[in-house]
Amino acid sequence: MAARSEVVHCYAQLASILSLMAALARAKEWDRLPELEAQCTGVIERLRTVSPQESLDTAQVEEVRRLMQRIQADQRTVCELVKPQLAHLVATMADLQNRNELDRAYGTR
């Protein structure tokens, strides 16, 4: 087996984080997602730094492709689960704003 490269390591980290994010989203544990998204951002920044400096052999390219497929699948899962929650949050915030405006207009506060 080829030596593990930093690029492959970064993709493996992203795959692991996104897998956890998908599991947490399925379990509706939304509070940990921002922290994990921040971790993804850090890994992506590291990847941007090391990627241009490193060449991958054929086996490593195949491993990166496999990891990217997992990453994309988990990203889709997270988006599918988070989007309805965000829409609900936006609707709730709009409702609260309308209530506040009515309260101010009619002096119930």
The owner of tokens 């493996």 is 12
pTM of the entire structure? 0.76
Give the CATH superfamily of 6-79.
Flagellar protein flit. (1.20.58.380)
Burial of 92 (0-12, 13-18, 19+ CB in 10 A): exposed
Percentage of residues in the chain with pLDDT exceeding 70?
A: 95
* Domain spans of the chain, in order of start: 6-79
Instruction: Look at residue 77 in the predicted model and tell me its pLDDT.
Output: 96
Q: What is the pLDDT of residues 23-64, one digit of tens each?
A: 999 999 999 999 999 999 999 999 999 988 888 999 999 999
Instruction: Look at residue 48 in the predicted model and tell me its pLDDT.
Output: 93
